[in-house]
Amino acid sequence: MMKSAPLLIGLSVLSLFSGCSREKREIIILTGSSTVAPVVTDAAKRFEATHPGVRIEVQTGGSSRGIADALSGLATFGMISRDLKADESELTAHRFAIDGVGIILHQTNPVTDFSRQQLIDIYTGKVTNWKELGGPDAKITVASKAEGRATLEVFLGYTGLDSADIKAGVIVGENQQAIKTVVADPNAIAYVSIGAAASEAAGGTPIKLVRCDGIEPTNENVAAGKFPIMRPLQLVSHGEIPATARDFLDFLTAPENADLIESHLYVSLSK
Amino acid sequence: MFLSRSDRILRGALVMLALLSGSVVLLIVWFLVAGALPALRDGYLPRLLFDEHWQPGSARDPQFALMPMLAASVLVTALAALLAAPLGIAGAVFHRFYLPKRLAVWNQRMLELLAGVPSIVFGFWGLTVLVPLINRLHPPGQSLLAAGIVLALMILPTIALTSQSALRSVPESQLLAAAGLGMGRFATVFHIALPSARSGIGSGVLLAIARAVGETMAVVMVCGNIAKFPGSVFDPVRPVTATIALEMGYASSSHKALLYLAGLILVLVTGALTGWLAFGKRNAGEVS
């Protein structure tokens, strides 16, 4: 037993080397936003199935990591769930999907429309009763998302609020929990991914998506950039894009792969 | 002592495995300390104590008040223990002294089944059934009360089953002696069985409390997650575990270190509870 150990180690080291020399697979590395990562991972699986020589690695760590890794060349693409900032103009953004965030109410709530100012007033505690918005005389249960959640960031971006300004009655984590909160409380208001809310509402859950600034929260309006509460999902690259990586980018925006993006409840920008 | 070769190998293997499982907890604590170190080094400990709000993501005014969450952890756990302990102990007495054997087996099976229900299922039930009921009494429904009730259901089997086994281990001779003295069933239960099983029941309750302090998934769905001191049982609360579950995936730098620190504090609290359990048991052993 003992005598064979060095031999075993030697053999395994050798096999490592042979593995390297034989392996000519191309590697595409993507890092960044945990909102973008699941979609890209699914697309990567499908891409690898049709491109046997390519391996795609997807790692999360937030949009800022995506930016940093794309700049330093650690990643082929950074994944970000926001627009590029002015000081990030060295990077090129490739938008492939949009995440729309909609306001949901209980089906029995007569309110059908919010302006940006009304949402600000509700979420900062200036308006606390549905009466002031043309609804019943009942206290508004304000549901907000936990710190760091992507939907919260989108909502803050739209309203221009800071997370410290929000006076919530209930804080929730996932979209599902927000939807269940509105189902359980007819006087609740919450914001969730439009895709998640639309599929729940279509399935008979007693919630409704309402208009914001007069715009219907439909996928068409989100894709057209009309609906105001949204953010882009994009890949960013620095300098020249290798041919295989370019292929993957085209693959991601190809109409036949729109189903992947839609299955994650985002709006695809192919077509 | 002479040990044969195979015995020595076995002993070696067992020592290795025992050390490994024992050292896992040390590794976890070390990992938590390492994660929390940046927060401790940058002097965040006083902020945990004296800040007013929990708003780590605020760009304008980040604040890190941990005390409302520690209070929430304690309150939710206390409420759960308060609800579950009488139920569990009474159930165990009924199971041991009143229920026919054939039904008693089924009673125990049901409790074991309850113990095996995944915590997310309790949370889902709480959010879809319990929360709307409480909402009708007093909105928003997601509250200290909801979390306490859900948690009580989750720790009930632990308390009931450990109490059952504590009552089972009361010596038959004592019960027979009580019967021989002409004591009724009530007197036997309250003056012989329960005092004799006290330490076993007590450690069952403490074990349940240790679990309740750390329980997360069910609580996060029904507690409302507002990091403020609650004014009543109908107010939403946010225990420490809920904060870690909600924010860990998205936290970075000092916020992340603070979550590690919160986790470390929680481990120390449960550690203290378990220590108390072991210490209390040894003392009780010395007395009897």
Residues 6+ apart with CB under 8 A from A219: A100, A194, A195, A198, A267
A153-198, pLDDT tens digit by residue? Answer: 889 999 999 999 999 999 998 888 999 999 999 999 999 989 889 8
Q: Are residues B90 and B111 in the same domain?
A: yes
Q: Are residues B123 and B228 in the same domain?
A: yes
Q: Do A62 and B220 touch (CB under 8 A)?
A: no
Residue B125: give its domain's CATH number: 1.10.3720.10
A28-42, pLDDT tens digit by residue? Answer: 999 988 889 989 999
Interface of A with B in 148-177 (CB under 8 A): 148-150, 152, 162-164, 168-173, 177
A268, A230, A231: which is closest to A251 by C-alpha? A268
Q: Does any CB of chain A come closer than 8 Å to the CB of residue B170?
A: no
B9-53, pLDDT tens digit by residue? Answer: 999 999 999 999 889 989 999 999 999 999 999 888 888 889 999
Whether the Cβ atoms of residue A106 and residue A187 lie closer than 8 Å to each other: yes
Tell me whether residue B60 is in a domain: no
- What are the structure tokens assigned to B158, written together? 């632990």
Instruction: Please state whether the peptide bond connecting residue A52 to the residue before it is cis, i.e. omega within 30 degrees of 0.
Output: no
For residue A15, the distance in angstroms to the closest alpha carbon of chain B comes to 30
Cα-atom radius of gyration of chain A, to the nearest Å?
A: 23
Give me the half-sphere count of Cα atoms (radius 13 Å) on the Cβ side of residue A50.
9
Q: Are residues B22 and B94 in the same domain?
A: no
Q: What mean pLDDT comes out for the span B247-268? A: 86
A with B: how many residue pairs have Cβ under 8 Å apart? 93
| Residue whose structure tokens are 């980018």 | A249
Of B14, B32, B55, the residue that ends a domain is B55
Tell me whether residue B27 is in a domain: yes
User: What is the complex's ipTM, to 2 decimals?
Assistant: 0.81
Q: Are residues B153 and B10 in the same domain?
A: no
Task: Reply yes or no on whether the pLDDT at B1 is more than 90.
Answer: no
A52-82, pLDDT tens digit by residue? Answer: 989 999 998 778 889 999 999 999 999 998 8
CB nearest to B139's CB, from A139, A146, A172: A139
Query: Per DSSP, which regions of A107-152 are E strands?
Result: 113-114, 141-145
For residue A24, the distance in angstroms to the closest alpha carbon of chain B comes to 35
Residues of B in contact with A171 (CB under 8 A): 224-226, 236, 238, 246
Q: Could you give phi then psi for residue A55, rounded to 5 degrees?
A: -120, 135
Under DSSP, the state recorded for B129 is I
Q: Could you give phi then psi for residue B145, rounded to 5 degrees?
A: -60, -50
Here the contacts of A39-44 (C-beta below 8 Å, separation 24 or greater) are: A39/A97, A39/A233, A39/A260, A39/A261, A39/A264, A39/A266, A40/A79, A40/A235, A40/A252, A42/A260, A42/A263, A42/A264, A43/A248, A43/A251, A43/A252, A43/A257, A43/A260, A44/A248
Give, in order, the Cα–Cα distances in Å from B56 to each of A118, B9, B97, B109, B237: 26, 53, 54, 46, 17
| Mutate which: B60, B225, B240, B258, vs A, most A CBs within 10 A | B225
Residues of A in contact with B120 (CB under 8 A): none
Q: Are residues B10 and B120 in the same domain?
A: no
A80-126, pLDDT tens digit by residue? Answer: 988 888 888 999 999 999 989 999 999 999 999 999 999 999 999 99
Domain A99-223 CATH superfamily? Periplasmic binding protein-like II (3.40.190.10)
Whether the Cβ atoms of residue B194 and residue B93 lie closer than 8 Å to each other: yes
pLDDT for residue B281: 66
Q: Which of A33-37, B227-231, B236-240 has the lowest mean pLDDT?
A: A33-37
Q: Are residues B233 and B270 in the same domain?
A: yes
Length of chain A: 271
pLDDT for residue B83: 97
Task: Reply yes or no on whether the pLDDT at A249 is more than 90.
Answer: yes
Whether the Cβ atoms of residue A90 and residue A262 lie closer than 8 Å to each other: no
Tell me whether residue B173 is in a domain: yes
Residues of A in contact with B221 (CB under 8 A): 177, 180
Give the pLDDT band of residue A18 (cuts 50, 70, 90): very low
Whether the Cβ atoms of residue A265 and residue A193 lie closer than 8 Å to each other: yes
Give the pLDDT band of residue A24 (cuts 50, 70, 90): low
Residues 6+ apart with CB under 8 A from B66: B48, B49, B54, B240, B258, B262, B265
Q: What mean pLDDT comes out for the span B150-161? A: 95
Residues of A in contact with B59 (CB under 8 A): 162-163
Q: Are residues B42 and B180 in the same domain?
A: no
B47, B100, B105: which is closest to B254 by C-alpha? B47
Question: Integer distance in angstroms from the first to the last C-alpha of chain B?
Answer: 34
Q: Do B135 and A185 touch (CB under 8 A)?
A: yes
pLDDT for residue A150: 77
If you measure CA to CA, which chain B residue comes closest to A32?
B250
Tell me whether residue B119 is in a domain: yes
The domain over range A2-97+233-268 is classified in CATH as 3.40.50.150: no
If you measure CA to CA, which chain A residue comes closest to B224?
A170
Q: Are residues B22 and B72 in the same domain?
A: no
Q: What mean pLDDT comes out for the span B78-94? A: 95
A6, A1, A5, A58: which is closest to A32 by C-alpha? A58
- What's chain A's average pLDDT? 88
Distance CA B255, CA B59 (A): 12
Task: Reply yes or no on whether the pLDDT at B82 is more than 60.
Answer: yes
Residues of A in contact with B250 (CB under 8 A): 34, 62, 146-150
Give the pLDDT band of residue A20 (cuts 50, 70, 90): very low
DSSP string, B188-256: IIIIIIHHHHHHHHHHHHHHHHHHHHH--HHHHHHSB---S--SSTTS-B--HHHHHHHHGGG--HHHH
pLDDT for residue A268: 87
Question: Integer distance in angstroms from the first to the last C-alpha of chain A?
Answer: 63
CB nearest to B132's CB, from A169, A170, A184: A184
Residue type, A33: S
Q: Which of A133-147, A178-192, B263-277 has the lowest mean pLDDT?
A: B263-277
Q: Are residues B29 and B73 in the same domain?
A: no
Q: Does any CB of chain B come closer than 8 Å to the CB of residue A45?
A: no
pLDDT for residue B191: 92
Task: Reply yes or no on whether the pLDDT at B226 is more than 80.
Answer: yes
pLDDT for residue B287: 42
- What are the structure tokens assigned to B208, written together? 């349940």
Give the pLDDT band of residue B148 (cuts 50, 70, 90): very high
Q: Does any CB of chain A come closer than 8 Å to the CB of residue B131?
A: yes
Q: Could you give phi then psi for residue A266, rounded to 5 degrees?
A: -105, 165
Other beta carbons within 10 angstroms of residue B164's beta carbon come to: 25
Rounded-to-10 torsion of CA B125, B130, B133, B139: -110
Distance CA B218, CA B230 (A): 19
Q: Are residues B23 and B79 in the same domain?
A: no
B210-225, pLDDT tens digit by residue? Answer: 889 989 999 999 999 9
Residues 6+ apart with CB under 8 A from B141: A184, A185, B131, B132, B133, B134, B135
Q: Do B226 and A171 touch (CB under 8 A)?
A: yes
B96, B216, B114: which is closest to B156 by C-alpha? B114
Give the pLDDT band of residue B283 (cuts 50, 70, 90): low
pLDDT for residue A2: 43
Tell me whether residue B237 is in a domain: yes
Other beta carbons within 10 angstroms of residue A21's beta carbon come to: 7
pLDDT for residue A1: 40
Q: Do A146 and B128 touch (CB under 8 A)?
A: no
- In chain A, where are the structural domains located? 2-97+233-268, 99-223
Task: Reply yes or no on whether the pLDDT at A13 is more than 80.
Answer: no
Give the pLDDT band of residue A140 (cuts 50, 70, 90): very high
Give the pLDDT band of residue B244 (cuts 50, 70, 90): very high
pLDDT for residue A9: 52
Q: Do A180 and B142 touch (CB under 8 A)?
A: no
Q: Do A185 and B251 touch (CB under 8 A)?
A: no
Q: What mean pLDDT comes out for the span A232-237? A: 94
Work out how many domains chain B is built from and give that number.
2
Q: Are residues B89 and B197 in the same domain?
A: yes
Q: Do A163 and B55 touch (CB under 8 A)?
A: yes
Q: Does any CB of chain B come closer than 8 Å to the CB of residue A147?
A: yes
Task: Reply yes or no on whether the pLDDT at A14 is more than 50.
Answer: no
Q: Do A172 and B225 touch (CB under 8 A)?
A: yes
Q: Do A169 and B220 touch (CB under 8 A)?
A: no
Q: Looking at mean pLDDT, say which of B95-104, B147-156, B273-282 comes out highest.
A: B147-156
Q: Are residues B35 and B176 in the same domain?
A: no
Range of the domain at B46: 5-55
Residue type, A214: G
Whether the Cβ atoms of residue B40 and residue B48 lie closer than 8 Å to each other: no
Whether the Cβ atoms of residue A268 and residue A261 lie closer than 8 Å to each other: yes
Give the pLDDT band of residue A129 (cuts 50, 70, 90): very high
Q: Does any CB of chain B come closer than 8 Å to the CB of residue A68?
A: no
If you measure CA to CA, which chain B residue comes closest to A167?
B226
Residue type, A127: V
Q: Do B224 and A187 touch (CB under 8 A)?
A: no
